[in-house]
Amino acid sequence: MQNSQLEQDLQKHFDLLRQGLEMLYYKEGSFLHPEVLQMTQQLDEYIVAFQKTIINFKKSIFARLKR
């Protein structure tokens, strides 16, 4: 799988989690509700994964440019 495809997949999943978090927040009315907190943690994990993917992609581009 190419980095760009992986980035797109992570971005889609991120968007779905974010939308789900918004809907759950409006349903429960609090960011402190256990389900909202759990979804927030999932979203945090995907944000970190997305950032790592971008960093690795940039590193590979710079490595190619140095050759």
pLDDT of 2 reads 59
pLDDT of 14 reads 82
pLDDT of 22 reads 95
**How would you write 21-49 as a 3-class SS string?**
HHHHHHHHCCCCCHHHHHHHHHHHHHHHH
Alpha-carbon span 10 to 5, nearest angstrom = 9
Kindly indicate the confidence band of residue 64, based on its pLDDT and cuts at 50, 70 and 90: confident
pLDDT of 3 reads 59
Q: What is the pLDDT of residues 1-58, one digit of tens each?
A: 455 787 788 788 888 889 999 999 999 999 999 999 999 998 898 888 888 888 888 8
User: Which residue shows structure tokens 């799988």?
Assistant: 1
